[in-house]
A and B are shown apart, each in its own frame.
Chain A
Amino acid sequence: MFRVFHAEIMKLRKTKIYWLVLLGVLPACLVSSMALLPKISSDGTPIDLDMQEMFYHQGMVLSVFGPALFALITGYVVAREYQERTINQLFSYPTSRTIFLIAKLLVVLSLIVITVALPFVFAIGSTLLIRHTLDIPVLWLGMKMNIMICVLSFGAIPTAAALSMVGKSIMPNAVLGVIVSLFAGISEAKHSMSSILFPWLTPYWPVRDLAQDIAQSGPNPYVIPALTILILTFIISLIFCIVYYNRADVHSGT
């Protein structure tokens, strides 16, 4: 398994996929850095740097742009085998097709982790630079939020993989990404609690929990159904991917 995963990583050398990762990292860093700007309260006293606000902004950006970015990354990792006509060769190796699929999904997970981790590291670094100290409970909240974003974002990845397998192109994922991100942007602007029922927006659940001064606060009542939907989406689309990858005849590779 490790040799297949390593080979999948080797395939990404000198590709533009890292620009896609940066496309998620940079806005998240930029928006969260707004919390670094000096602020003054209504009574004229300066407000201290709020790490929770940084993590919240960072999470907002990732939960809006993440679904599109991660769908595109998945599309690239899966569909390029068809587009560059390497699928014949890939399936001629003495390795189960399921192992190749799992290796590809693990590569996507790794890229999701990098996309989420870099802004988190940026937030910690900039806080340390300005305040020279860290609020450990808030740091833990931020870490928890980022881990949950990674896990919950991965829940919708097999669906994106299935789309690029069937479409043999990155285009279906691009369309999916645009639609999902638009929907995420609108829903999250309204701070809708129920939006997390949509599998691509479930990562908004831990982000919203960090929000301060919004109308509806407290535990999100839609968590259980949202997680159920996401898990079902994950399992069904993963089974579809495995069956499709294993049973599909490989023709011209296009």
Chain B
Amino acid sequence: MITLDYVLRTYHLTKRYKDKVVVHDLNMNIKAGDIYGFLGQNGAGKTTTLRMLMGLIRPSSGEIELFGTGLNGNKNKALERIGAIIEYPGFYLNLSAVDNLGIHRRLMGMGNKECMDEVLTTVGLHDAKHQKVKNYSLGMKQRLGIARALLHRPELLILDEPTNGLDPGGIKEIRQLFLDLAKQRGITIIISSHLLNEIEQVANRVGIIHQGKLLEEIDHETLQKRTRHYLEIKVTDEQRAAYVLEQKLGVTDYFVTEPGILRLYEHLDQSTKINLTLTNNGIGVKEIALSGDNLEDYFLKITGGE
């Protein structure tokens, strides 16, 4: 099986605790250079999956393939090429950022110390590098976690909810950092999150997990197509309104969502014309509004709205 295009693949990955299946038959496919958004509600199985990828917990069944080889027997070689934050960026609180990175540098067998300054500058912590980590805010710890994950120049970054605790400005900066890392260094990034807009803005591929099952893996373009905008029109007679729009404006891409409501996926910039056409044909128009299935709607749709 030739799988070198893929940095990470899982085959029927399953984790079971007694009778409870936490991750069920997961087949993940992540290509080199992807920013892969791993999207799911809290408790969906994201962190458990990431823990299995890092070898922190053992799968009940299934296989993990990292960099073209199975994880069993090659775990340490694979881990050399991965940077990660799993769930919470843990640090030795009595030590400074530099000391913590120094421990990481030593454990990764890295020689030069200059790289520490470089990553601390990248995440905006250079000025606080000698402060003890116990005095850091959660946002600063997240940044330091990202710095540590980047320190040994990994090929794959696995980041579990990396923007937890960051302020909006920080989220924007970190998002840009991920985009730059993928573009400039070709790093493959997996970002798990329950925040739909966060994933929407950064990921080029999205995997949606719900109740332990990977429901869908789609690329950004496909997702955009599926999360189209539309005009929602509330009318007195939806059947006649549909007929009039078809006949007078040539509208074909629409559907009736419920009695009295039409959803139109074309002529989005012609709401005045639609209003006039319907009114002139004796159909009362109560409301016309531009709306759209965003990722949230789409997510709720495919997860059954739970």
Residues on A close to B: CB < 8 A? 3-4, 6-7, 10-11, 13-15, 80, 84-89, 91-96, 247, 249-253
Contact = CB atoms under 8 A, between A and B. Distances in A.
Interface stretch (B77-85, B212-220, B250-258): B77-85
B2 interface: no
A89 B106 contact: no
A250 B108 contact: no
B177 to A, nearest CB: 20
B192 to A, nearest CB: 14
B92 A95 contact: no
Contact of B107 (A13, A93, A252): A93
B95 A88 contact: no
Contacts of B109: 3
B58 interface: yes
A94 B99 contact: no
Contacts of B12: none
B99 to A, nearest CB: 7
Nearest to A8: B103
A87 B57 contact: no
B84 A7 contact: no
B289 interface: no
A89 to B, nearest CB: 5
28 contacts: A3-B106, A7-B106, A10-B95, A10-B99, A11-B95, A13-B94, A15-B94, A84-B91, A84-B93, A88-B54, A88-B56, A88-B90, A91-B54, A92-B54, A92-B56, A92-B82, A93-B79, A94-B75, A94-B76, A94-B108, A95-B76, A96-B76, A250-B51, A250-B56, A251-B51, A251-B57, A252-B87, A253-B88
A117 B107 CA distance: 30
Contact of A94 (B51, B77, B90, B148): B77
B139 interface: no
Nearest to B75: A94
Interface in B45-87: 51, 54-58, 75-80, 82, 84, 86-87
A169 B132 CA distance: 23
B102 interface: yes
